[in-house]
Structure 1
């Protein structure tokens, strides 16, 4: 297990030794002595938190507190409204591509409506069973394997999203949020109204919102890497540094300088070492869509 230093605290961070067999799934294991009311930074994925330790993670949201194993749609933490806290927290955190989230969760990300939802509400007794099984095994690699088995079974039994919707999502991700959104419908041969409606209902957010989150995520990680805000703004499609500042403030409630030091961003290179490096899963091509 690696160690991530946050102030006086040291987080334990573990990664799977091999990629998940389910495209669109990445995960990491965390052992955190004190979360200390840390800001959740929005991310363009569905977050699945599988808690199994003696401590209980708590998310303080605008709608109240949620504890234990949780699910949240893309953009969790928008506006800086969500903080995480807890003592002696142990969990597996899973990032689900919105393309596979409906199949895995059993509901569309749109049904989450931006809220943080207890996993028990979606999976019932199965949520308790996976928590017990994760606690019973002694190694993180076994926990990752158990999680993969669960997600693969649910994914195989769940409904897929439309191929056109999946293709549009991966175009946005591959372009770091700079893809011309108005052209996506033409490229898949659908009307704009149809693509916007299907995208929103199946992935949980409209295409322009998806592109904004993807672009922000790309820019935020470059800020964490130490690049200057003016350079990041110019290189990631913002009109200028003020535009970047406004977007970061709207999404996180903080300035770019503050966001660059947020632990939940700074830990990413350790917890998700392939972030942004692998080719997008389910690489749909127009030739496939029109056959």
Structure 2
């Protein structure tokens, strides 16, 4: 029997400063697949429902391939590669970097470029319990509600420098780093150091990834790549192609041919920039 399910959900209002969105997927009886996990402005948490997640390669090539029942991936500048044999199921949570302290208990900077076993951060019993509850839930809406409940219970009040919160929103809004540094009253060097420690990327890297992510989401079969490049701030089509080669390891055309159907089903446009007070 062939199963090919996808679903998307938004977090409750209380979680929106921390969580951009949820995706659920269940596939069975399909051809084996190789999926690219591309750089984005959000960390990724994956909780599998059945078979482990198979990581063929990580953004950091020094990490060995592995299998995970639950995984958390930090912000990165190169793709991860996920494979499956035609069967996979799970839930993906897109986490804003500035919500990492509240939900995971550490700054996102400590996870930069890494994929880690979620049990190592959240505790094996806690991860096992939520996976069991998610597996037993009758539908995707119920699973998303369970994620809301679980993450709300995990959330803690934290203190992030207001300059970083402000800078995150401005940087993702494509404001030059020099301008943002002047607005918060810091030197460019100090802003870069503090921003990277909190999020895992330098300000210019975060702006680059955000621009790439917006352009990637706008790609469609039949839409000229040059049109997307112009709409999302690239100098020309060649500039966008170079960024794709650097951040995705392939061209936009290759990505559309190999990944579009799967990624379009899962990708959820972030509701906002993840800034919070």
Q: Please tell me whether residue 205 in structure 1 is matched to residue 201 in structure 2.
A: yes
- Aligned counterpart, 1:162: 161
Q: Which runs of 5+ in 1 are unaligned?
A: 1-8, 285-291
Change in Cα spacing, 1:160 to 1:271, as seen in structure 2 (3 Å) is farther
Report the Cα offset of residue 65 of structure 1: 2.1
Report the Cα offset of residue 20 of structure 1: 2.6
Report the Cα offset of residue 209 of structure 1: 0.7
- Aligned counterpart, 1:184: 180
Separation in structure 1 between the aligned mates of residue 220 and residue 160 of structure 2, nearest angstrom: 33
Change in Cα spacing, 1:186 to 1:86, as seen in structure 2 (3 Å) is farther
Change in Cα spacing, 1:215 to 1:262, as seen in structure 2 (3 Å) is farther
Report the Cα offset of residue 118 of structure 1: 0.7
CA contact (8 A) 1:224 1:261 kept: no
Q: Which runs of 5+ in 2 are unaligned?
A: none
Separation in structure 1 between the aligned mates of residue 214 and residue 267 of structure 2, nearest angstrom: 14
CA contact (8 A) 1:58 1:86 kept: no
Q: Please tell me whether residue 45 in structure 1 is matched to residue 45 in structure 2.
A: no
- Aligned counterpart, 2:231: 235
- Aligned counterpart, 1:83: 82
Report the Cα offset of residue 201 of structure 1: 0.8
Report the Cα offset of residue 233 of structure 1: 2.0
Change in Cα spacing, 1:283 to 1:128, as seen in structure 2 (3 Å) is closer
| C-alpha RMSD of the superposition | 2.4
Separation in structure 2 between the aligned mates of residue 20 and residue 225 of structure 1, nearest angstrom: 33
Report the Cα offset of residue 154 of structure 1: 2.0
Separation in structure 1 between the aligned mates of residue 241 and residue 197 of structure 2, nearest angstrom: 30
Change in Cα spacing, 1:121 to 1:169, as seen in structure 2 (3 Å) is same
Which secondary structure does the structure 1 equivalent of 2:146 belong to? helix
Separation in structure 2 between the aligned mates of residue 41 and residue 262 of structure 1, nearest angstrom: 13
- Aligned counterpart, 2:8: 15
Report the Cα offset of residue 51 of structure 1: 1.1
Change in Cα spacing, 1:279 to 1:42, as seen in structure 2 (3 Å) is closer
Separation in structure 2 between the aligned mates of residue 131 and residue 279 of structure 1, nearest angstrom: 28
- Aligned counterpart, 2:105: 106
Written as runs of structure 1 = structure 2, the 5 A alignment for 1:247-266 is: 247-263=243-259, 266=261
Which secondary structure does the structure 1 equivalent of 2:65 belong to? strand
TM-score, length-scaled by structure 2: 0.85
Change in Cα spacing, 1:36 to 1:269, as seen in structure 2 (3 Å) is closer
CA contact (8 A) 1:100 1:160 kept: no
Q: Please tell me whether residue 145 in structure 1 is matched to residue 145 in structure 2.
A: yes
Separation in structure 2 between the aligned mates of residue 221 and residue 30 of structure 1, nearest angstrom: 19
Separation in structure 2 between the aligned mates of residue 225 and residue 14 of structure 1, nearest angstrom: 22
Q: How many residues align?
A: 265
Q: Please tell me whether residue 31 in structure 1 is matched to residue 30 in structure 2.
A: no
CA deviations over 1:165-219 (Å, ceiling 9, x no partner): 122112233x2xx321221111122232332122111111111110110011111
Report the Cα offset of residue 42 of structure 1: 2.1
